[in-house]
Chains A and B, each alone.
Chain A
Amino acid sequence: MRKKLIAAVLAGAVLAAALPVQTFAEEEKTFVYGTTGYSEEMGDAGLNPHDNYSGWSAVRYGVGETLFKYNDNMEIEPWLATDYEFIDDTTVKITLREGVKFSSGRTMDALAVKECLEDLIKVHDRAPSDLKIDRMEAEGMTLTIYTKEPCPAIINYLGDPYGAIIDMEYGIQGEGGSANVAGTGPYIAEEVSPTQIELVKNEDYWGGEVKVDRVTVKSFADGSALTAALQTGDIQGTYGLQYDNYALFENNPDYTIHSCATSRCFFGQFNFESEIMQDQNVRKAIEMGIDKEGFCSVIMQGRGLPASAAFPDSFSYGNQAVETVSYDPEGAKALLEESGWTDSDGDGYVDRDGEKLTVNWLTYPTRLEQPKLAEYAQATLKEIGIDVKVNNTSDHMTYAGNGDFDVYVSSLTTAPTGDPEYFFTSTVTGPKNYGGYQNEEVTELTEKLHQTFETEERSALAVELQQTILDDDAMFFVSHLNMGIVTKSDVTGIAAHPCDYYEITAELDVE
């Protein structure tokens, strides 16, 4: 009797030990993804879309989905919503997709969406002023939103990751960088921490079969470690590889590089309060003295694309729609001479009334490209006789705020929601206009853009605005960042997008 019992226990133990091995043998498809884009410092740790920038992570890693999404031209497409209609200037009616379920099991309907958006505008910092929602009505699968004032871009704003729809009945589990939510996406988060997310496939995904069973998202703080991890195979795909290291994976059959120009733009603002910068010839000369092509192809190793204006080519109101000066050192010299700047003492720098033309170039090191651009521009501007003093400091906000610069080079995601208005209201007429640029026409056009509903008309206004700014030589645009995802070559269904919101999707597969 006793022996039997022991035997049974032993057999059970053996079986139990063998079990995990068996499940392992079923060949679960796994994918480990390394990224430098997930951390508490960036404000996007955790998956709660109503907290800071965590919505980016919810959408990026396939947990949350928004009502509308942006296609590769950053135009609005239906996602969890199938259609929308403006009833009047302050009312929009949104029709929701049928048959969508939250990972909590609840079916998504207008009421659930209403609850989610109500929480969003209650707790989120940016959403209330973007969406201007007054109240909402839910009826079956139709959600009607009443805004406090005309809000033409509301549909675009609903595509911002903070608009990821989650089940508020399930609520927010955990806080901050460990917050988990019940979304509608192809993956469900099992474990969330400020440095790592464990995802499993959503068996009931409305968009069809999800191909990979398990995805691990690992946060990396160091680019070299990210590179090494991809080389050793510790991770199979990555976002945020340093452009210096692309050469290791280019022309390498074991790896695939997906890249796409984003609306992150490196641009400079001239300080209109600085006396030398008030001369348009000097501003234009600086613009003409910067070799954008060389910077993008050599210094950024092709990870940047030359910019003419604020938005990349893929946008209907992007680069190709505007006219600007190109690299022309001789032309720049001529302009400087026209304004009386010549090299009279033969030191290689132009001067006027015994004073050298010295430009104080403010930038900051968080974006590695920016000090490089400063150093490169310093050399090319020297060619036309301009002496550039670089002030590269993480405390740039103080200097910029005090107007302690001639040129301020920063970078910005110019169209986070595929809509142009944001760039103008923030950087041209808004708080980020550090250069004190003022033009009545620009202010009027921006106001007009703010009130226009028609998409094509908005695009036309965006083009007109950019052209006016360029004609005034108030800013210069150097480069758009070419965002890249590098994977092992057996990974498919992952692609780079102009907005970097969509990374892990149902299409992801490992062959």
Chain B
Amino acid sequence: MLKYTAKRLLLLIPVLVGITFLSFAMMRLAGGDAVTYMYENAGTAVSQEIIDEARKEYGLDQPFLVQYGRWFMGMASGDMGTSYVSGRDVYDTFIEKLPATILLMLSSVLLTMAVSVPLGILSAVRHNKWPDRLIRFFSFTGNSMPNFFAALVLMYFLSVKLGWLPVVTSENTILSLVLPTLTLTVSMASKYTRQVRAAVLEELNKDYVMGARARGVSGKVIIWKNVMKASMVTIITLLSLSVGSLLGGTTIVETIFMWDGVGKMAVDAITMRDYPIVQAYVAWMAVIYVLANLASDILCHYIDPRVRLGGERR
């Protein structure tokens, strides 16, 4: 197991090199650079000399490979560079925004699990009865609602109409966590409830469950001991994807609720062509996904030993 983990972690290096090079190249293909976008955002025109000067300062006048090489050497020696837009150290900026992202990830994943696992099981057990129909209806609704829509509806009712929650506060973290968490939970729980339901149904139809039922093992025991365990593979696979994407930040929710996480930072950086931030973000995402996938593979293996770990010999 240790050897396997080490091997997977070692594979992180080519993934990192690959992904940062890819994104560097892609940002190049996208056209425009930080200098043009910065001056254009302010809505004023500046002379070509000023633009050239700024480009030179950021090294944007250099050939592509030189730029990447410089960035890579910096990165390798622990220097992630400075943001073109804010002029601040990339590492500091990133570290500053991570706690908010992680907090929101934890709260929304926990709430999502707390809501969708019981509801999914209920829905599967009461297959095609009214609780199932009701739950499915809500999960359709939640799922076909864009995130911003849920955010605005929640904000409108809980803040503007009922006055229970402030739209923004910078003082009270717990209070300001409520709306973003609820928003994310609406869409995630809708999705997971359906997935849990599907997975549990799949298991309930299996012969061993039928057999257990025939032997007179009680329904509860079957569900908790066998069905849940088997359904976990699906849930964990999906969960690792969700955790990954949540750690990448949730731009819309961050924008609406002014939740100062990495998602908005990344999108702003991408649209502004702020390469150093984009590169750091892409590297972060690669690490997160590799780790999340590794964790999910190992977990699945433990829960259901039939699941072999990738790379293992048959």
User: Is A–B contact present in the complex under a CB 8 A cutoff?
Assistant: yes
Residue from B36, B42, B47, B257 within 8 A of A225 (CB atoms): B257
B160 and A232 form a contact (CB under 8 A): yes
Nearest CB in chain A to that of B46: its residue: A126
Question: Which of A40-48, A337-345, A375-383 sits within the interface?
Answer: A40-48
Whether, in the assembled complex, A183 has its beta carbon less than 8 Å from a beta carbon of chain B, the answer is no
28 A–B contacts from the bound complex (CB under 8 Å): A41-B85, A41-B272, A42-B41, A43-B38, A43-B85, A51-B87, A52-B42, A125-B46, A176-B86, A195-B170, A218-B170, A218-B258, A220-B168, A220-B258, A222-B258, A224-B256, A225-B155, A228-B167, A231-B160, A232-B160, A234-B168, A395-B30, A398-B31, A411-B43, A413-B43, A413-B44, A430-B45, A431-B47
The 10 closest A-B pairs by CB, nearest first: A426-B45, A229-B167, A398-B31, A40-B86, A176-B87, A221-B255, A222-B256, A432-B45, A228-B167, A176-B86
B43–A397 CB distance below 8 A: no
Interface of chain B residues 107 through 160 with chain A (CB within 8 A): 152, 155-156, 159-160
A307 CB to nearest chain B CB (Å)? 16
* A234 in complex: contacting residue of B38, B48, B166, CB < 8 Å: B166
Within B64-109, the residues touching A (CB, 8 Å) are 85-88
Contacts of A397 in B (CB 8 A): 31-32, 36-37, 40
Instruction: Please name the residue on chain A nearest to B257 by beta carbon.
Output: A225
Contact mask for chain B residues 24-64; partner A; CB cutoff 8 A; 1 contact, 0 none: 00000011100011101111111111110110000000000
Assess whether B43 is in contact with A228, with CB atoms less than 8 Å apart.
Answer: no
In the complex, the answer to whether A129 meets B49 with C-beta atoms within 8 Å is yes
Chain A residue contacts of B42, Cβ below 8 A: 42-44, 52-53
In the complex, per-residue mask of A159-192: 1 if CB is within 8 Å of any chain B CB, else 0: 0000000000000000111000000000000000
CB proximity of A219 to chain B, nearest CB, Å:
8
B30 touches A232 (CB 8 A): no
Check: B219 CB closer than 8 A to any chain A CB.
no
B-side interface residues, number (CB < 8 Å): 44
B50: which of A43, A126, A264 is its contact (CB, 8 Å)? A126
Decide if B163 is an interface residue (CB 8 Å cutoff). Answer: yes
Per-position binary interface string of chain A over residues 37-78, scored 1 when its CB falls under 8 Å from any chain B CB and 0 otherwise: 000111111000001110000000000000000000000000
Q: Which of A40, A195, A412 is within 8 Å of B258, CB to CB?
A: A195
Residue B297 CB within 8 A of the other chain: no
Within 8 A of A (CB), among B236-292: 255-258, 260, 264, 268, 271-272
Q: What is the interface of chain B, defined by CB distance below 8 A to chain A?
A: 30-32, 36-38, 40-51, 53-54, 85-88, 152, 155-156, 159-160, 163, 166-170, 255-258, 260, 264, 268, 271-272
Contacts of B170 on A, CB cut-off 8 Å? 195-196, 218
Whole-angstrom distance from the CB of B168 to the nearest CB of chain A? Answer: 6
Chain A count of residues within 8 A CB distance of the other chain: 46
Residues in B whose Cβ lies below 8 Å from that of A51: 87
Is A394 an interface residue when CB atoms closer than 8 A count as contact? Answer: yes
- Show the binding face of A for B, using Cβ within 8 Å: 40-45, 51-53, 125-126, 129, 175-177, 194-196, 218-222, 224-225, 228-229, 231-232, 234, 264, 366, 394-395, 397-398, 411-413, 416, 422, 426-427, 430-432
Contact of A431 among B48, B54, B156 (CB under 8 A): B48
Q: Which of chain A's residues have a CB closer than 8 A to the CB of B156?
A: 228
The residues of B that contact A427 with a CB separation of less than 8 Å are 45
**Nearest CB to that of B30 among chain A residues?**
A395
Verify B54–A264 contact, CB threshold 8 A: no
- Please state if A394 and B168 are interface contacts (CB–CB under 8 Å): no
Question: Across the interface, do A177 and B88 meet the contact criterion of CB distance under 8 Å?
Answer: yes
Task: Report if A228-B32 is in contact (Cβ < 8 Å); known contacts: A177-B88, A221-B264, A234-B167.
Answer: no
B269's nearest neighbour on chain A, judged by CB, is A41
A125 and B50 in contact, given A40-B86, A221-B258 (Cβ under 8 angstroms):
yes
Given contacts A219-B258, A426-B47, A431-B47, 10 further A-B contacts (CB under 8 A): A125-B50, A176-B86, A176-B88, A218-B170, A225-B168, A228-B155, A229-B168, A232-B159, A430-B45, A431-B46
Residues A412 and B268 in contact in the complex (CB < 8 Å), given A228-B167, A232-B159, A395-B31: no
A385 to chain B, nearest CB (A): 34
B271 touches A43 (CB 8 A): no
Compute how far the CA of A195 lies from the CA of B88 in the bound complex, rounded to whole angstroms: 15
**Complex contact A175–B87 (CB within 8 A):** yes
Contact between chains at A395 and B32 (CB < 8 Å) = yes
> Given A412-B43, A413-B44, are A41 and B268 also a contact pair (CB < 8 Å)?
yes
CA distance A196 to B258 in the complex (A): 11
Partner of A40, one of B43, B85, B155, B255: B85
For A224, list chain B residues within 8 Å (CB): 152, 155, 256
Contacts of A412 in B (CB 8 A): 43-45
Q: Given that A41-B272, A397-B32, A427-B45 are known contacts, is A218 also in contact with B50, CB under 8 Å in the complex?
A: no
- B152: min CB distance to chain A, Å: 5
Complex Cα distance, B170 from A274, in Å, reads: 53
- Give the complex CA separation of A263 and B133 in angstroms: 58
What's the minimum C-beta distance from B291 to chain A, rounded to whole angstroms? Answer: 29
CB distance from A456 to the nearest CB of B (A): 26
Contacts of B48 in A (CB 8 A): 431
> How far in angstroms is the closest Cβ of chain B from A468?
20
Scoring B41, B156, B163, B271 by chain A CB atoms within 10 A of each residue's CB, the highest score goes to B41
